[in-house]
Amino acid sequence: MEIYSPEQQVTLPLYQSKGVEVFFKRDDMIHPFISGNKWRKLKYNLHKANYLQKDTLVTFGGAWSNHLLATSCAGATYHFRTIGFVRGEAINNPLLDMCRLFGMQLIFVSREDYRNKQNLFQQLENLAPCYFIDEGGAGIEATRGCKEIIAELHNAYDHIFCAAGTGTTAAGLALGITDKQLHTQLHVIPVLKNGGFIAEEMKILDAPMELVQLHIDYHFGGYAKSNPILLEFVKDFVQATGIMIEPTYSGKALFALHDLIQKDFFPAKSKILFVHTGGLTGLLGQLEKFNKVQ
């Protein structure tokens, strides 16, 4: 699949008043269903599954997982069967319906059973040649794909921003920056509470941490939590730029960037890249929240 992810400068009064330049790496434009970093993370997993002659991809996620949808669509595209273990009691929503439409078989499992993913996987592996893809696509193959974000860049940046759930994307970016010997600082915004663990996860994936700065105070209460300030921020940005973001990942990371620009964290003339990691289908479960703001 050819990657289409332009590097787009965005001008807003805030950026102009502080004299900084902000570009967006539009990974949200790669594909409507295999969105953003989920494509980056799947790419080398698909190569490996193919190489190992596995015909079934088995993966895991919550009921609104962008990764489940990405895997279901990638399976249909590259001719793998797909099976998704969904955490929690059986429910229905538009995202899961789209997974089914792409041919994914969904199996709902209790939170307790979900913890032992290897066990769930092995039960299927006895039946067919299956390939294990961790929740969110996390793992070493995934960092390889994310590294390519850096290799594609046309400009040099002083700072790069991204959201983190598992830290896999951030680890890939850090590896890419070192590979290219760039003088770029990587700013990582965990979207979960107590996000310090992201540094440990990144180290496990061999990420060089000297160039990484973690900003752990932009989680807004925890994963998928938000408040009217964040929702208002997302709404204002979307309306001012025409670029869709969502409150679970990109909204929090971009809020962090704007807050730091406001606080003069960056000297004038700084060149900053925001990696838009996509995942906009997750918005389908959250749109009502916006109607309650204002």
Question: Pick from 20, 29, 163, 272: which binds ligand PLP (CB under 6 A)?
Answer: 163
Total binding residues for ligand PLP by CB under 6 A?
A: 19
Q: Which is nearer to ligand PLP, 39 or 270 (CB)?
A: 39
Quote the least distance from Cβ 288 to ligand PLP, whole Å: 20
Q: How many residues does the chain have?
A: 294
**Site track for ligand PLP across 10-49, x = CB under 6 A:** --------------------------xxx-----------
167 binds ligand PLP, rule: CB under 6 A:
yes
Identify the CA nearest to 61 among candidates 99, 101, 16, 6. 99
DSSP, residue by residue, 141-160 = HHHHHHHHHHHT-SS--SEE
279 binds ligand PLP, rule: CB under 6 A:
yes
250 binds ligand PLP, rule: CB under 6 A:
yes
- What is residue 252's three-state secondary structure? helix
Per-residue CA distances from 59 to 131, 138, 154, 172, 232 (Å): 8, 11, 34, 21, 34
Quote the least distance from Cβ 231 to ligand PLP, whole Å: 17
169 binds ligand PLP, rule: CB under 6 A:
yes
Question: The tokens of 138 are what?
Answer: 């996390």
Instruction: State the Cα–Cα distance between residues 24 and 273, nearest whole angstrom.
Output: 6
Catalytic positions, please? 65
Instruction: State the Cα–Cα distance between residues 67 and 40, nearest whole angstrom.
Output: 11
166 binds ligand PLP, rule: CB under 6 A:
yes
Q: Which is nearer to ligand PLP, 174 or 270 (CB)?
A: 174
Quote the least distance from Cβ 84 to ligand PLP, whole Å: 15
Instruction: State the Cα–Cα distance between residues 276 and 250, nearest whole angstrom.
Output: 6
Binding to ligand PLP (CB under 6 A): which residues in 64-93?
66
Closest-approach residue to ligand PLP (CB): 279
Question: Pick from 220, 255, 278, 283: which binds ligand PLP (CB under 6 A)?
Answer: 278
How would you class 209 by CB atoms within 10 Å of its CB: exposed for 0-12, middle for 13-18, buried for 19 or more? middle
Determine contact, residues 168/41, Cβ cutoff 8 Å.
Answer: yes
Which spans of this chain sit near ligand PLP (rule: CB under 6 A)? Answer: 36-38, 66, 136, 138, 163-170, 249-250, 277-279
